[in-house]
Structure 1
Amino acid sequence: MAPIPTPPAEPQDDPDTYVGLAAPNAEQRARERGWSTVRSLPPGAIITMEYRFGRLNFEVRDGRVTRCWKG
């Protein structure tokens, strides 16, 4: 049987620090801090619920991050 792969490490970063930032600035900061995928979503967007290591999600309203979460 093949071993279970070890997921990649995520940046040690607090998603709450992105709330209130302009979306382009938040995305740039997230990439600089090591997030491999950064996803901006409108409020109420329908998304899949699978957890992706290394992904940071932004909910963006009027160009500003209103919510941020990992996965």
Structure 2
Amino acid sequence: MPSGGTDDFPGLPVGAARRLADERGWRVVRVLAPGAMMTMDHREGRLNLLVRDGVVERGWEG
């Protein structure tokens, strides 16, 4: 189970967010652009990052 929540990711550059996710134990990191199509299946241990212009706007599990 990853440590920490998803509130620390918004505002980070995508590279820094990926490194933080790795340090915290997220198994899978999915980077999504605004409006991107995505599956709606929930996967425990997957971190979703909504990224605009290389900066994370939102992060959530699943």
Deviations 1:14-61 (A, max 9, x none): 111100000000011101100000111101111111100110000000
Give matches, 1:17-36, under 5 Å: 17-36=8-27
1:56 is the counterpart of 2:31: no
Q: 1:12, CA displacement in angstroms?
A: 3.2
TM-score, normalised with respect to structure 1: 0.82
- 1:7 — aligned with what? none
The structure with more radius of gyration: 1
* Distance (Å, rounded) in 2 between the aligned partners of 1:50 and 1:35: 17
Which runs of 4 or more aligned residues in structure 1 lie more than 2 Å from their structure 2 counterparts after TM superposition? Answer: none
Aligned length: 62
Runs of 5+ in structure 1 lacking a partner? 1-9
Say which of 37, 41, 55 aligns to 1:46: 37
Contact 2:47/2:61 (8 A) holds in 1: yes
